[in-house]
Amino acid sequence: MQKYGLIGDPISHSKSPAIQNAALQACQIKGEYRLLNTPGEELAQIVARLRADNVQGFNVTTPFKQAIIPFLAGLDQSAAQIQAVNTVKNVAGKWIGYSTDGAGFWQSITVTPGMQVALLGAGGAVKAIISARPANVELVVFNHVSPHFTQHKVELQQLFGIELQPLPALTPKLGALDMLINATSVGLTDDLSILTQAEVAQLPAKAVVVDLIYRTQETLLMTYARQTGHQVIGGLPMLVNQGALSFEIWQQQVTPIASMTAALAD
């Protein structure tokens, strides 16, 4: 039986087992994908156990997307650029790291030539999305000014030639956007919104609001966007598409995305 899993902490809320096991079943692959809760101090032991168990591959989530790298024998181009890994494959006994977050995001939305996109945040998800952005997308990035703002600004400039701007600079640009993406943690464990309702209302009617957070109840930002008549996309489409790319890396075959999506409704 093939063995796959997810390491991270916390991960009890993750829907990855549902979608990955649905894909395995749809492809008639004898295998299992399970959660592997990994307290930070146990990362080395968990990785050693995965190797001993001859696990074929695993996903990586917070807080180990960078910490996993020293345990790997190599990285694909995307993971090497952003120095973050969310997918690991056992290749002839060696762990190889990949990043499917960025490509998974862009596959989860409709891209139109020249679209104007505002990306909020400066963490790993932001870097992944920037690294995989289509050439015909105009992307601007904003974040709260914090003690780490300058560091994030230098990183984005060096990696991508993109200037990180303070969040207040977004307000005068709202009226020209085709899409707004929240890649911050605001709204993950609270009832706050990265933008006020009045700011969301300044977006053009055609603008799409994407919140990468996925949870049982929609975030306040998503509520504001619905109330102002905007199309809203949550974090599940990205989850499915990045998971589909992980499946393709592991299995070298097309992923049954319909089966993965249907599993979320169960």
Distance between CA atoms of residues 69 and 181, nearest Å: 27
Contact call for residues 181 and 212 (beta carbons, < 8 A): yes
Cβ neighbors of 225 (< 8 A, separation 6 or more) are 200, 203, 209, 231, 232
Distance between CA atoms of residues 63 and 29, nearest Å: 30
The answer to whether 123 is a known ligand-binding residue is yes
| Identity of the amino acid at 251 | Q
The answer to whether 61 is a known ligand-binding residue is yes
Residue numbers annotated as active site = 65
**SS3 category, 5:** strand
Dihedral sign from CA coordinates of 220, 119, 59, 67: negative
* Run of H or E including 139: strand 138-143
The answer to whether 74 is a known ligand-binding residue is no
Please count the residues of the chain: 266
Token code pair at residue 180 = 């707004």
The answer to whether 16 is a known ligand-binding residue is yes
The answer to whether 161 is a known ligand-binding residue is no
The answer to whether 235 is a known ligand-binding residue is yes
The answer to whether 212 is a known ligand-binding residue is yes
The answer to whether 143 is a known ligand-binding residue is no
The answer to whether 26 is a known ligand-binding residue is no
The answer to whether 114 is a known ligand-binding residue is no
**Comparing C-alpha atoms, which of 177, 242, 243 is closest to residue 210?**
177
The answer to whether 242 is a known ligand-binding residue is yes
Please report, in range form, the residues annotated as the binding site for shikimate: 14-16, 61, 86, 101, 214, 242
Please report, in range form, the residues annotated as the binding site for NADP(+): 121-125, 212, 235
Please report, in range form, the residues annotated as the binding site: 14-16, 61, 86, 101, 121-125, 212, 214, 235, 242
